[in-house]
């Protein structure tokens, strides 16, 4: 995507349709857009948090994986998967301290970059932004809480079931948002497992009619059965 392919009006529209910025007035949105620059990341691009910490990034299109990796073993864990309407790096915005996470484009990604100084001014000057920004932070913290709980308490089947349920499309209840076409290796990184284990579990669910898989896409066939199996796994897990 060329750097000039999204006009200021289109940038404003993207902000207006997001949960974070949608409650702001058109005048405020125009002011914000004046401080944004369009950036594009090609699929597969990986960037260290310290290399992009001068700006806050708002995703227009595509997905960005936030992860950590052990350089010695190559083992990786995905902390979150962000999509259109999400922003990063929240932690640096809040405390100004460097992070050791990496950001990777799961698709070709279009971003609006905004100086951290400008973002700090929005927090100070625009109560309407704060009213949605604080719940957004809470949602992100809740997701990390869920991830840490899953890693510490549950087996692989339960963690994978939780991941699928959390990413169900709110309208169809059987299609998945963000993770619908992720590789088995990527799904494994999201639940602290490995590709072979995740592949085996998905194949078991497919044989049982719980999910279907076609051309790398996962569709949930029976939410009720999946929830029942999850509850069973929870109740039967060993201390």
Token pair 């902000």 is found at 15
State yes or no: pLDDT of 24 exceeds 90.
no
Q: In what order do the strands lie in the sheet with 109-115?
A: 37-41, 109-115, 55-61, 87-88
Cα separation, 194 vs 192, in Å, equals: 7
Give pLDDT, residue 68: 93
Domain boundaries, the chain: 8-142, 154-236
Give pLDDT, residue 191: 93
Q: Look up residue 176 and give its DSSP letter.
A: B
Cα separation, 4 vs 26, in Å, equals: 22
The pair of three-digit structure tokens given for residue 70, joined into one six-digit string? 């052990």
**Helix %, strand %, coil % of the chain (to 5):** 45, 20, 35
The whole-number average pLDDT for the span 14-27 is: 84
Cα separation, 1 vs 108, in Å, equals: 9
Look up the CATH number of domain 154-236: 1.10.10.10
Cα separation, 52 vs 55, in Å, equals: 6
The answer to whether 8-142 and 154-236 have equal CATH topology is no
The pair of three-digit structure tokens given for residue 4, joined into one six-digit string? 């000039």
Closest CA to 108 of 194, 39, 183: 39
Cα separation, 171 vs 40, in Å, equals: 30
* Cβ count within 10 A of residue 103: 22
What are φ and ψ of residue 61, in 5° steps?
-150, 155
State yes or no: pLDDT of 1 exceeds 60.
no
Superfamily assignment of 8-142 in CATH?
A: Jelly Rolls (2.60.120.10)
Question: Structure pTM?
Answer: 0.84
pLDDT range class, residue 71, cuts 50, 70, 90: confident
Cα separation, 25 vs 34, in Å, equals: 14
CB 184 within 8 A of CB 202: yes
Cα separation, 193 vs 161, in Å, equals: 13
The whole-number average pLDDT for the span 72-86 is: 90
Q: 59 Cβ partners below 8 Å, 6+ apart?
A: 82, 83, 84, 85, 86, 87, 88, 109, 110, 111
pLDDT by residue (tens digit) across 147-159? 999 999 898 999 9
CB 55 within 8 A of CB 116: yes
The pair of three-digit structure tokens given for residue 181, joined into one six-digit string? 């076409």
State yes or no: pLDDT of 195 exceeds 90.
yes
> How much is the mean pLDDT over the chain?
85
CB 94 within 8 A of CB 51: no
Closest CA to 62 of 142, 178, 152, 163: 178
């Amino acid at each position: 995507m060329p750097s000039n392919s999204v006009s200021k009006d289109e940038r404003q529209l993207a902000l207006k349709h997001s949960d974070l910025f949608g409650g702001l007035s058109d005048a405020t949105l125009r002011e914000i857009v004046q401080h944004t620059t369009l950036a594009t990341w090609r699929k597969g691009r990986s960037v260290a948090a310290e290399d992009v910490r001068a700006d806050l990034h708002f995703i227009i299109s595509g997905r960005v994986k936030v992860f950590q990796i052990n350089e010695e073993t190559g083992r990786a864990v995905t902390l979150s998967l962000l999509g259109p309407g999400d922003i990063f790096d929240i932690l640096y915005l809040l405390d100004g301290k460097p992070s050791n996470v990496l950001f990777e484009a799961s698709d070709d990604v279009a971003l609006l970059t905004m100086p951290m100084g400008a973002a700090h001014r929005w927090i100070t000057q625009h109560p309407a932004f704060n009213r949605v920004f604080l719940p957004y932070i809470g949602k992100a913290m809740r997701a990390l809480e869920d991830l840490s709980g899953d890693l510490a308490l549950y087996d692989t089947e339960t963690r994978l079931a939780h991941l699928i349920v959390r990413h169900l499309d709110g309208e169809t209840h059987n299609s998945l948002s963000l993770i619908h076409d992720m590789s088995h290796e990527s799904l494994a990184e999201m639940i602290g497992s490995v590709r072979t284990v995740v592949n085996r579990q998905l194949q078991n669910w497919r044989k049982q009619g719980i999910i279907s898989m076609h051309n790398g896409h996962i569709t949930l066939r029976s939410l009720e059965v999946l929830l029942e199996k999850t509850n069973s796994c929870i109740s039967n897990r060993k201390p």
